[in-house]
Amino acid sequence: MQLSPSRLLDDLFAPPPVAARIDWLTAQPFAHRGLHGAHIVENCRAAFEAAVAEGHGVELDVQASRDGEAIVFHDYDLKRLTGVEGRVRDRSAAELQRIALAGAGETIPTLIDVVHLVDSRAPMLIEVKAPTRHVAALCASVLRAVRDYPGYMAVMSFNPEVGRWFWRNGRGITRGLVVTERKRRRVHGGFERRLSLWRARPHFLAYDVQDLPSAFAREQRRRGLPVLSWTVRGARQRETAQAEADQIIYEER
């Protein structure tokens, strides 16, 4: 069977990984920002411990402090989760580590803190939040934190420059591309997704469950890229993910 030009280019610029290298990705669900809920705050140590206790993987977010350190925190603004005004990127890592997470009884962790906490007891997905092309400082901080990590771990990002950086500088690190098709469903969006794929050279995709089924996700699955689906909530989305993805990144309602 003759392959389409897009398939040939996908195989050239984003070749599928050896299955044995990434089979751990589909072995268990991943708790989105840790296993959090009414009494446990997202992206805190207790949430990660709860995911480990459940036998599930840990998904977490990192972004850069003012001095370029990888800080485990989702929002760019501190207000929602701490009550403190200001942005994460405007404070040093030392300052951020002294800020309490509201209702958590603990402070904002660094990636190094979480790596030591999990300590290979569960696989980790680290979403690197980098809104611009200037990703080197944050990616280097992530690499320092995980370079010698003996457990299963992957980095992923919406930003293809993150995957590109790790392809060049951290070849042993499993890479993922996070994808949403919201507001990007037309021809231009499809072209953008393909360019991001080629740029990031991912080993897997993390796909918005609200976009499934997706022709692009199905095409990449057929090529051998596992598809993890986020953020899966409730029975209906679990059914969709079961049919269209290889594993879930979930939250409990």
User: Active site includes 32?
Assistant: yes
Instruction: Return the beta strands (E) in 80-166 as ranges.
Output: 100-101, 106-107, 124-128, 153-157
Q: Which long-range contacts (CB under 8 A, 24 or more apart) does 87-94 make?
A: 88/63, 88/64, 89/63, 89/64, 89/65, 90/66, 91/65, 91/66, 92/65, 92/66, 92/67, 93/65, 93/66, 93/67, 93/69
| Joined tokens for residue 71 | 């800080």
Strands, E assignment, the chain: 30-31, 57-64, 70-72, 100-101, 106-107, 124-128, 153-157, 174-179, 204-208, 227-232, 247-250
Rounded to 5 degrees, what are φ and ψ at 222? -60, -30
Catalytic residue among 36, 39, 56, 74: 74
For strand 70-72 and strand 106-107, is the pairing parallel, antiparallel, or unpaired?
A: unpaired
Q: Of the residues 32, 36, 56, 203, which is catalytic?
A: 32
Which residues have a catalytic role annotated? 32, 74
